[in-house]
A and B are shown apart, each in its own frame.
Chain A
Amino acid sequence: MKRRLEISELIFKIISYTLLTIFAVACLYPFVYAISSSVSGYEAVQYGRVVLFPKDVQFDAFKRMFSDNMFWNSYSNTLFLTFFGTIWALGVALLGGYALSKKRLLFRKAFNFFLVFTMWFSAGLVPQYLNYIATQRVFSKVGINDDKWLVVIAMGMAAMNIILLRNAFEGVPSEIEEAAIVDGATELQVLTNVYIPMTKSTIATVALFFGISRWNGYYWARQMIKDTNEHPLQVFMRLKLEQFQDAEQMAGWSESYASDSVIYALIVCSVIPILIIYPFIQKYFAKGTNAGGVKE
């Protein structure tokens, strides 16, 4: 009987290792392929001769892209949106989450419902679009014509993240807060000197959620930012892809022999910053999903 047990365990183990390996490789392969293709010779890419490793290594696609001013523009725009967008969203979420975590807050239930209702019911694409158009009109009347700032303050707020912060703040023992108040701390001091240091890892998680969603944001940036010089990287990338696709459809062949390599190079440029910080942030993300959502 002992033997039968061992065999069934062994079989299961072999199956899991095999399937896991296949799945993990399949997850990673497209990225490796993109990196290989971006540094391979045009013809090798064009005729699909690159399978895993680069062939006829050269860096023309990168050179061509780095000499494009629009590329650097879009990169700096993405950095701008990510930086200010994260600060704005995190600031709003921290203050709101802190206030909501207080039992003594009047109408606490109503405020919570105000937040949670947006998770149940969202107006949808077109009404949101109409709302932004109306806001743009108001902004330009006041004299603000920079759509980037509109994207910064309008986008990327998620009720879920505020609830995550609220739950973390609720977990801080109230005695510590009382001690701080006895020592004469104001509300803001209590937040910055007591609560924020005690919930550092949740705040880091939420900041990363905001940051990643900003870095990856595409649709609204494209709809709202009219000036092509102000487009972030994701929009720039998609427009390039569409441009090449159109050219290919119209003429039956690529606009230039390098188009595929350029797309791969763009993908690589967008992926690399995430790949660099990924090992450091991965553990925070795992934590965030476990702490999120389920309550009481």
Chain B
Amino acid sequence: MSVKAADYLLVDEETGKYRMDPEQAVRDDVEKHYWLHVGRTILKDWRLYLMLVPMILVFLFWRYFPMYELLGCFKRYEEVTPVSERLFSGFSYFKTLLVGSDSLSTDFWRAMRNTFLLSFYGLLFGFPMPIILALFFNEVRSDIARSIFQVMTYLPKFMSTVIMTSLTIMLVKGSSLTNGMGVISQLFVNLGWISPEVGAAGLLNQPNLFRAIYQITGIWEGAGYDSIVFFAAIIAISPTSYEAAQIDGAGKMAQMRYVVLPSILSTVVIMLITRIGHLLSVGYEKVLLLYNLNTYVTADVVSTFAQRQGILSNAKGIASAAEMMNNIIGMLLVIGANTIAKKASNTSLY
């Protein structure tokens, strides 16, 4: 700490003489006995700090201890031994996954690819849907009609993943001796979109259809609810902007282009960046409930790969290593996205 004379001396306005600054003595004392002062402040305000304790414990126990457990990916896995006492194994698990010659490595790369593709297609098809919906909601002038539409489209968001996936499974199931196909499969067969054989085998058993099913159910589940943010941005546009555009002779499309789009652009950018940040966190629950042996080729993502290796077949070190890589890339994406958002619109997401 550099000491400047000006910190200690004050000029007395009336007499023009210098005198000691009394506050500086306190500041010095705080500097000298920093932790003592911290302790005193906390003691004085102990109720406030006590309120933090449950939250800290919960996050420590259920969020941070697993991260410590994750470090086990550098150690040889042993059941009861704590991570710190296990034998160091270096990057051997990572090597097996990344450059190994057995099926583990190929499965891991497949899972990486699927994770990326599932979220990328979600970005491509799932992201624009809420914006389009919000534009349509804006066209509905009657409040009652609009809230009916909104109530209907938000509803699936409140249903659990189990209900959504059970419904999906039932609606597209194949036929057997005693069973007809699911009603959606029937519809698609009748429309000629899929062949009767595919319908009879069950759409969820077709590897090439899994991604489409995943995206469509994703839109069914989330598009309505996600449109809330965009709709809020659209109704915030002043009606005078539309009037001005109309007077200038703008048609509906021109109004969209020159009035609505610029006004909601910042919201769109923020949501888009958030989405990119979460590119590698595919909801494992939904995949886990929808996939089966036949569709691993396109459906297996890193978390489901890890849960199969780690929980079902007890290769916990391999599983931790796989998740470690996924998490680190994911975190870099989130932080990168947040930095870009800060630069682009002066809004920090967190």
Contact = CB atoms under 8 A, between A and B. Distances in A.
A120 B153 contact: no
B53 to A, nearest CB: 8
B245 to A, nearest CB: 10
B183 to A, nearest CB: 6
Interface in B252-269: 252-253
Chain A interface mostly:
helix
Interface in B231-262: 232, 246, 249, 251-253
A12 B316 contact: no
Interface string B23-60: 00000000000000010011001011101101110110
B163 to A, nearest CB: 6
Interface in B152-185: 152-163, 166-167, 169-171, 176-183
B61 to A, nearest CB: 7
Nearest to B284: A125
Contact of B232 (A30, A48, A290): A290
Interface stretch (B62-70, B84-92, B99-107, B111-119): B62-70
The contact size tier of chain B is 35 or more
Contacts of B306: 124-126
B208 interface: no
A20 B186 contact: no
A245 B253 CA distance: 50
Interface stretch (A64-72, A104-112, A197-205): A104-112
A234 B179 contact: no
Contact of A114 (B56, B251, B350): B56
A93 B182 CA distance: 44
A159 B349 CA distance: 13
A271 B56 CA distance: 35
B126 interface: no
A51 interface: yes
A295 B348 contact: yes
A171 interface: no
Contact of B228 (A153, A159, A289): A289
B319 interface: yes
B288 interface: yes
B139 interface: yes
Nearest to B178: A253
Contact of A4 (B178, B220, B225, B251): B251
The contact size tier of chain A is 35 or more
Q: Which of A130, A135, A218, A234 has the largest count of B CB atoms less than 10 A from its CB? A: A130
B220 A27 contact: yes
A112 B48 CA distance: 15
B320 A282 contact: no
B58 A157 contact: yes
Contact of A28 (B72, B155, B225, B285): B155
Contacts of B156: 27
A13 B327 contact: no
Nearest to A100: B52
A149 B50 CA distance: 23
A122 B62 CA distance: 10
A149 B232 CA distance: 40
A182 interface: no
Interface string B284-296: 1100110000000
Q: Which 3 A-B pairs have the closest CB atoms?
A: A96-B55, A216-B160, A124-B323
Given A13-B139, A91-B54, A271-B163, 9 more contacts: A48-B183, A106-B41, A120-B350, A130-B72, A216-B161, A252-B176, A253-B176, A253-B179, A282-B151
10 contacts: A16-B135, A20-B136, A25-B152, A28-B155, A30-B167, A95-B52, A99-B52, A111-B56, A121-B331, A125-B311
